[in-house]
């Protein structure tokens, strides 16, 4: 097994373990983060819904949201059939002007992360197999306070040729 594949599996395994840890031990986290696979973007995306479950407003920088910056969420994509990981790209995604969002108790934010912006060979890969996308998200509030750790996986179905 090559080193890139081994590293990707370790990251994916850690994301799944962390998800169980987050919901069992840190049940008092101030956010609920849900993800689902969607094909609203040509090659597929992960749609996120973030809900403030606390009794107080939360301020978070827009770039800290999963869809706000390329590096705010960790994604690992694996072909289900062959267990081969897709190579991720690492483009520059600088934040020049920060915008703070205030999330009231019970309020939700929704957004999507286009997977083609993370994985170059996404279209060809989805013609071969279903795709498992593991995600990990550890947001910080506008003041730098950690808001919990969240993670899980979604399934993007194979696309016909």
Residue 134 lies in a domain: yes
State whether residue 11 is helix, strand or coil.
helix
State whether residue 12 is helix, strand or coil.
helix
Rounded to an integer, the average pLDDT of 6-17 is 53
- Please count the structural domains in the chain: 1
- In Å, what is the CA distance from 92 to each residue of 6, 30, 127? 25, 30, 28
Residue 58 lies in a domain: yes
Domain residue limits at 131? 3-156
pLDDT at 94 over 90: no
CB 131 within 8 A of CB 79: yes
pTM, two decimals, is 0.80
Residue 119 lies in a domain: yes
Q: How far apart are CA 146 and CA 54, in angstroms?
A: 14
Q: Sheet harboring 31-38: ordered strands across?
A: 31-38, 45-52, 108-114
Residue 139 lies in a domain: yes
Residue 148 lies in a domain: yes
- Whichever domain contains 135, its CATH number is 2.60.40.2970
SS3 labels along 49-77: EEEECCCCCEEEEHHHCCCCCCCCCEEEE
Residue 67 lies in a domain: yes
Residue 161 lies in a domain: no
109-159, pLDDT tens digit by residue? Answer: 999 999 988 888 888 888 889 999 999 999 999 888 999 999 999 999 988
124-133, pLDDT tens digit by residue? Answer: 888 889 999 9
Residue 90 lies in a domain: yes
């Amino acid at each position: 097994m090559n080193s890139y594949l081994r590293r990707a599996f370790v990251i994916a395994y850690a994301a799944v373990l962390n998800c169980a840890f987050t919901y069992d031990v840190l049940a008092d986290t101030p956010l609920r983060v849900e993800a689902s696979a969607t094909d609203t973007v040509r090659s597929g995306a992960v749609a996120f819904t973030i809900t403030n479950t606390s009794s107080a407003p939360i301020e978070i920088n827009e770039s800290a949201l999963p869809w706000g910056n390329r590096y705010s969420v960790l994604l690992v994509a694996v072909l289900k059939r062959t267990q081969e990981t897709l190579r991720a790209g690492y483009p520059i995604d600088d934040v020049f002007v920060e915008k703070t969002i205030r999330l009231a108790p019970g309020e939700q934010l929704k957004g999507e992360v286009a997977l083609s912006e993370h994985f170059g060979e996404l279209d060809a890969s989805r013609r071969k197999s279903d795709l498992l996308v593991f995600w990990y998200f550890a947001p910080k509030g506008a003041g730098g306070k950690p808001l919990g750790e969240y993670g899980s996986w979604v399934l993007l179905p194979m696309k016909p040729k």
